Amino acid sequence: MDTEVRDINGTAVHVGTRVRVLKISESVLSQLSDSEADAARLMEGEVLEVYEIDEWGGAWVEKSWREGDGTPVSHALGLGPEQMEVVADQDES
């Protein structure tokens, strides 16, 4: 892929890079159903691995968890530069 992707600090982002999800914009959340928006909000502050860079330069991450009844759930989100920050392994929380 030729698209160069960078985080909020200008650090290069590639597939496999671990990023902290900063803030998900209201313009993105408003396009989602209430349950999807709630799931997306759960991703804020999480450190997740980029699994894909799309043709528009979105860095895609996914979070998986289990509902109270044990049902597996996941949500994927494409992040722009202002929505992510590359973290070093020792910086993870």
> pLDDT tens digits, the chain, 93 residues: what are they?
457 899 999 999 999 999 999 998 888 889 988 888 888 888 999 999 999 999 999 999 999 888 788 888 888 889 999 999 999 865 555
Instruction: State which residues form the domain around 59.
Output: 5-91
* Strand blocks (E) in the chain: 5-6, 12-13, 18-21, 47-49, 52-53, 59-66, 72-79, 84-86
- Count of the separate structural domains present in the chain: 1
Nearest to 20 by CA among 89, 85, 92, 88: 85
Q: Per the confidence metrics, is the pTM higher than 0.75?
A: yes
Partner residues linked to 73 by β-bridges: 65
Residue 32 corresponds to which amino acid? L
Query: 27-36 contacts: CB < 8 A, separation 24 or more?
Result: 28/77, 36/75
